[in-house]
């Protein structure tokens, strides 16, 4: 790892340790690498490091643990040792030496030494920052270390009497994107933009959804993205109304809309984009009417994505514009205020409008503070993704509306002024889309 990267991670660790000490002396944090998941028999799922561990170290190997000793301002790593024979099969490891030389650990141990070393690291500490309940197997190992430390009490050793969630510190840090993080998010956005544009140009009646999924993946990997940020949704016709549609195996027909919710990850940062466009290149009148309502909701909600507003304000704006549109088109009947109060839009719009975005597509960070919707602040990135989904068997609407699904999603950076659309420039108006599809 180059020096500037090392400094970047060291700076984050220093900030995390400052925050730990602000809660009192004797603070230690234990963070485990993501486990390897078996796919079937001896085949593993592609490995991706835990976002918190990567955020603080840039270390991407499994079977590792990092321990932050805030008082000593020290960082200790447990890693897989070098093993030339294994490395022939699995690739190079940093090893104990590399953890110190390249990743800034003050000391490093073999992961097999974790059980004997952990009680020493917990000795005479008062607070353990550890996320319980996420990995029960690893919980056991941490709790065993804690118990072994308690057993040293007779020798005058004290032990952590509090276990607190490190998310309170790390996830708060991760909410506010620095310029280097935004650089990665912009790179992810640029590759994702190209993928959506290519999909619009390539889609033709008679093609299968999976052909377009393949084109998205090819664009991501060719652009240098390491992986998708989440499984791509490529849903045509009535599949566009299935929120988490993943089969991507239907043959697309003229007259269908195609909803693509796909984004790549770049440098461990996600993009999350949805576009909906006609397979034949031209919207039908009902499709276009629905599309225009969703587009207006999205544009007005993005305009509200400003410091001081909340995700609930952004959501309420989408709900208002969508409900008014459904009323104007005759899909809902009654009084606007009443329909919103009764949540009459719910059969058509059943999800929220936004989530935090960052290293994780549904990124970490508190949505509420003291029970209240948290105000947006500069450096936060959110999605804005309203939609209208009319089930194909919705007998309460005229047949021409049934089976139409539209979502439009962009990634928006909150600043101290205007919102910045990181995924700007992907065709979005009816005119832009019909030109891109032509």
Nearer to Mn ion, 127 or 355 (CB): 355
Instruction: Note whether 123 and 154 are within 8 A (CB).
Output: no
Least CB distance from residue 365 to ligand GLY, whole Å? Answer: 15
Q: How many residues of this chain interact with Mn ion, rule: CB under 5 A?
A: 4
Catalytic site residue from 129, 407, 410, 411: 407
- One character per residue 32-71, x = contact with ligand GLY (rule: CB under 6 A): ----------------------------------------
Whether residue 407 lies in the annotated active site: yes
Return the number of other C-beta atoms located less than 10 Å from residue 230's C-beta. 18
The item of Mn ion, ligand GLY, none sharing an interface with residue 423, based on CB under 5 to 8 Å by kind, is: none
Backbone angles phi, psi at 340, to 5 degrees: -65, -45
Q: Name, in order, each residue with C-beta under 8 angstroms of 410's C-beta and a sequence gap of 6 or more.
A: 273, 298, 302, 383, 384, 385, 421, 422, 423, 424, 426, 428
250, 355, 410, 411: the active-site residue: 355
Q: At closest approach, how far in Å is the CB of 298 from ligand GLY?
A: 13
Q: Return the residue of 220, 230, 277, 291 that touches ligand GLY, per CB under 6 A.
A: 230
Site residues for Mn ion, window 229-288 (CB under 5 A)? 261, 272
Distance of CA 342 to the CA centre of its chain: 31
- Distance in angstroms (rounded) separating the CA atoms of residues 57 and 55: 6
Sign of dihedral through CA atoms 143, 148, 149, 154? positive
Of 334 and 367, nearer to ligand GLY (C-beta) is 367
What would the two tokens of residue 380 be?
A: 């936060």
400 near 286, Cβ under 8 Å? Answer: yes
Between 235 and 403, name the residue whose CB sits nearer to ligand GLY.
235
Q: Based on CB atoms, which residue is closest to ligand GLY, 66 or 364?
A: 364
Give the tokens for residue 234. Answer: 């490529």
- Please say if 409 is a catalytic residue: yes
* Cβ count within 10 A of residue 371: 5
Residue 310, CB-side half-sphere exposure with 13 Å CA sphere: 13
Q: Which is nearer to Mn ion, 225 or 383 (CB)?
A: 383
What is the tally of helices (H) and strands (E) in the chain?
13, 21
Active-site residue, selected from the candidate residues 351, 367, 400, 418: 351
| Active-site residue (options: 46, 85, 244, 416) | 244
Contact 241, 392 (CB under 8 A): yes
Please state, as a whole number, how many other Cβ atoms lie within 10 Å of the Cβ of residue 206.
10
Contacts of 395 (CB under 8 A, 6+ apart): none
Q: Is 244 assigned a catalytic role?
A: yes
Told to judge if 373 belongs to the known catalytic residues of this protein, a careful annotator would answer no
Spot the catalytic one: 147, 362, 418, 435: 362
Site for ligand GLY contains 261 (CB under 6 A): yes
Q: Give me 180's structure tokens.
A: 């280097």
User: Among this protein's residues, is 389 annotated catalytic?
Assistant: yes
385 tagged catalytic: yes
Q: Is 135 known to be catalytic? A: no
Interface pick for ligand GLY out of 272, 360, 363, 410 (rule CB under 6 A):
272
Minimum distance from residue 361 beta carbon to Mn ion (Å): 7
CB of 161 to ligand GLY, least distance (A): 39
- Residue 261's contacts (CB-CB under 8 Å, 6 or more residues apart) are 232, 233, 272, 273, 274, 407, 409
In sequence order, which residues have a C-beta less than 8 Å from that of residue 387 and are 6 or more positions away? 274, 294, 349, 351, 405, 406, 407, 408
In the annotation, is 42 catalytic?
A: yes
**Among ligand GLY, Mn ion, none, what binds residue 230 when CB lies within 5 to 8 Å by partner kind?**
ligand GLY
Residue 356 touches which of Mn ion, ligand GLY, none (CB < 5 to 8 A by kind)?
Answer: none
The whole-angstrom separation of Cα 188 and Cα 272 is 9
362 given a catalytic annotation: yes
Examine residue 383 and tell whether it contacts Mn ion (CB under 5 A).
yes
Q: Of 293, 361, 364, 426, which one interacts with ligand GLY (CB under 6 A)?
A: 361
Residue 129 annotated as catalytic: no
For Mn ion, the closer of residues 107 and 300 by Cβ is 300
Residue ranges in contact with ligand GLY by CB under 6 A: 230, 261, 272, 355, 361, 385, 409
User: Catalytic positions, please?
Assistant: 42, 244, 261, 272, 351, 355, 362, 385, 389, 407, 409
Residue ranges in contact with Mn ion by CB under 5 A: 261, 272, 383, 409
């Amino acid at each position: 790892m180059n020096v500037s990267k090392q400094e970047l991670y060291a700076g984050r660790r220093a900030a995390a340790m400052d925050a730990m000490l602000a809660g009192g002396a004797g603070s230690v944090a234990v963070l485990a690498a993501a486990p390897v998941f078996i796919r079937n028999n001896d085949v593993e799922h592609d490995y991706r490091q835990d976002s918190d561990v990567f955020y603080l170290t840039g270390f991407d190997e499994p079977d590792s643990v990092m321990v932050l000793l805030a008082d000593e301002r020290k960082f200790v790593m447990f890693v897989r040792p070098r093993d030339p024979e294994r490395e022939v099969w699995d690739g190079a490891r940093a090893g104990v030496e590399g953890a110190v030389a390249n990743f800034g650990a003050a000391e490093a141990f073999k992961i097999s030494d974790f059980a004997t070393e952990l009680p020493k690291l917990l000795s005479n500490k008062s607070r353990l920052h550890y996320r319980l309940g996420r990995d029960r197997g690893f919980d056991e190992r941490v709790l065993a270390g804690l118990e072994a430390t308690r057993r040293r009490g007779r020798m005058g050793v004290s032990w952590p009497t509090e276990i607190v969630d490190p998310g309170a510190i790390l996830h708060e840090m991760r909410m506010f994107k620095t310029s280097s993080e935004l650089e990665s998010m912009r790179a992810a956005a640029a590759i994702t933009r190209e993928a959506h544009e290519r999909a619009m140009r390539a889609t033709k009646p008679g093609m299968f959804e999976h052909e377009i999924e393949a084109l998205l993946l090819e664009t991501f990997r060719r652009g240098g993205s390491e992986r998708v940020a989440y499984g791509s949704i490529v849903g045509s016709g009535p599949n566009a109304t299935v929120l988490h549609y993943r089969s991507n195996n239907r043959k697309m027909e003229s007259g269908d809309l195609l909803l693509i919710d796909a984004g790549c990850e770049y440098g461990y940062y996600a993009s999350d984009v949805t576009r909906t466009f006609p397979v034949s290149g031209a919207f039908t009148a009902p499709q276009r009417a629905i599309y225009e309502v969703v587009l207006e909701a999205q544009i007005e909600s993005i305009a509200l994505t400003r410091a001081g507003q909340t995700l609930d304000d952004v959501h309420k704006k989408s709900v208002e514009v969508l409900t008014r549109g459904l009323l104007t088109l005759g899909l809902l009947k009654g009084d606007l205020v009443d329909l919103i109060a009764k949540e009459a839009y719910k059969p058509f719009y059943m999800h929220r409008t936004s989530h935090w975005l960052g290293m994780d597509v549904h990124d970490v960070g508190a949505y509420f503070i003291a029970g209240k919707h948290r105000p947006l602040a500069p450096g936060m990135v959110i999605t804005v993704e309203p939609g209208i989904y009319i089930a194909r068997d919705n007998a309460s609407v005229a047949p021409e509306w049934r089976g139409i699904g539209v979502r439009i999603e962009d990634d928006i950076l909150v600043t101290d002024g205007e919102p910045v659309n990181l995924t700007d420039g992907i065709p979005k108006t009816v005119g832009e889309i019909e030109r891109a599809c032509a």
